[in-house]
Structure 1
Amino acid sequence: MVGYGSNVGFDDDMRAEGEPEQEFNPGIASRLPRKRVAGGLLFHDDAGRILMVEPVYKPTWDIPGGLAEDDESPLAACRREVREEMRLDIEPGRLLVVDWIPRHGVWRDGVMFIFDGGTLTAGQLDAVSLQADELSSYKFVTLDEAADHVRPSLERRLRAAVAALDSTVPAYLEFGRDVSES
C-alpha cells in the first residue's frame, strides 16, 4: 500500500491529531500563500521510452497526471487523474522527483511530484481510452524527442526522473535543477 490510497489508517491519524488549533491571530490562515501541487506518473516501455500525453488545453506535452484538488495528496491526484484521463487504474510506484517551480505568468509557484509508473503492458495500453476534453493523444518517445515538445524545466525534470529510476533516493529539484549539485 502506498500512502493513504485506500484511507487505511487515515481516519485514525486524523483523530490522533486532536481538535484543530484555533487561529491565534484571526484571519491569518486565509492570508497564507497557496501553491499548486501536482503528481505525475513516469511510464515507460520495454525500449526505455517514456509515455507522453498531448493535452488539448495547452501547447506542450506532459506526462500523465495532474493537479491535486483541495485536501488531496499528490499521490492520490496522480492516481485519480490517470484514471480519469486515460481510464488506467494504476497504483503509482515510488517517488522519483520533487520539483519546486517558480511563479510564471498567471501561474502560481508549485511543487511537482513524479512517481514511477513502471512498464505498461500491451493489455494496459489496449485499455487506454483518452478523455477527449483533456487529452488528444499519447505516445512513447525518447527523452530527446520529448524535449522538442516540452518546456525546458519539464525536460530537466524528466531527465532527473529517468536517472532516479536507477537510484534508491528521489531527486529534489528547483525549476528542474538538482540543487545538491550547487
Structure 2
Amino acid sequence: MKTNPHPSTCVDAEIFAADVELEGPPEVEFNPGIASRIPAKGSAGGALVRNTSGQVLFVVPMYKPFLDIPGGIADANESPKAACQREVVEEIGPDIAVGRLLVVDWIPRNGVWRDSHQFVFDGGVLTDEQASAARTHDDELTGVRFLSLDEAAPRIHPSLHRRLELAVNAAESGTTIYAEFGHAL
C-alpha cells in the first residue's frame, strides 16, 4: 500500500493514503518528454493573523528588505496549507492554528522568482495577551510587528498589500476570493 508521500499534509494521513491508493499506480508518460516541458509553478501559504485592534502580524525577514506575513513556500509534494502551518510553527510558534482559506492569488514572474499561487489562510485574532507575547522563533527573522495595512504599505510589496486587503475582507465576510496580482476577479 502507498503511504502519505509527505508527512506535513493537512489531510488526515489515513484518508490521504487511501486516496493515493485509489488513484492507482503512478502515472507514466504516454508521450515521453511532455512532463518536462510543463512549466513549474510555485505555491506558498501565508497566515493572516490579527490583533484585537485589527492590525496584521508581519514578520521581519533578514533575507529581504520587505515585511511579510507568517508562512512560506510549499515544499515538493506539500500542500499550501501544510506549508503555511509548518512555517507558522517555525516562525512564531505552535499557538496559531491555520484556519480556512481566504485568498488564492496568482502572481507573475518577478526577477528570479517564477510565477506562483499565493494562498492566504485565516490565522485568527490574537487576544491582547497573545499579541503582546508574539515573538519570532526563527533565525531567518529579526522580529514581528503588528501594523495596520496603511502603516505596512511602505514596507511591503503593493501586490501583498492588495492581497491582504482582500484577505481581511474575506475573513470579515466569510468568503473566499480568487485574485490575480492582488486584484479580485
TM-score, length of structure 2 as denominator length: 0.89
Which is further off, 117-126 or 33-42? 117-126
Matches of 1:138 and 1:123, distance apart in 2: 13
Matches of 1:95 and 1:47, distance apart in 2: 22
Give the structure 1 partner of residue 49 of structure 2: 43
Displacement of 1:82 after TM fit?
1.0
1:85 aligns with 2:91: yes
CA RMSD of aligned residues (A): 1.7
Displacement of 1:155 after TM fit?
0.5
TM-aligned CA distance change 1:149 to 1:168, over 3 Å: same
Displacement of 1:8 after TM fit?
4.0
Identify which of 52, 55, 65 aligns with 2:58. 52
- SS of 1:9's partner is helix
What's the CA shift string for 1:19-69, capped at 9, x where partnerless? 122211112112211111000000001111110111111000010000000
1:126 aligns with 2:138: no
Identify which of 111, 122, 129 aligns with 1:105. 111
Q: Is the Cα contact below 8 Å between 1:88 and 1:128 reproduced in 2?
A: no
Matches of 2:53 and 2:147, distance apart in 1: 10
What's the CA shift string for 1:106-163, capped at 9, x where partnerless? 110000000000012424753634212x111101111100111101101100100011
- SS of 2:112's partner is coil
Matches of 1:15 and 1:172, distance apart in 2: 31
Amino acid at match of 1:77: A
How many residue pairs were aligned? 176
- SS of 1:160's partner is helix
Which is further off, 137-146 or 163-172? 163-172
Matches of 1:124 and 1:52, distance apart in 2: 12
Give the structure 2 partner of residue 30 of structure 1: 36
- SS of 2:155's partner is coil
Matches of 1:88 and 1:124, distance apart in 2: 14
What's the CA shift string for 1:89-111, capped at 9, x where partnerless? 53211111000000111110000
Residue segments in structure 1 that go unaligned for 5+ positions in a row: none
Matches of 1:138 and 1:128, distance apart in 2: 6
Q: Is the Cα contact below 8 Å between 2:58 and 2:146 reproduced in 1?
A: yes
Give the structure 1 partner of residue 24 of structure 2: 18
TM-score, length of structure 1 as denominator length: 0.90
Pairing 1:56-75 to 2, within 5 Å after superposition: 56-75=62-81
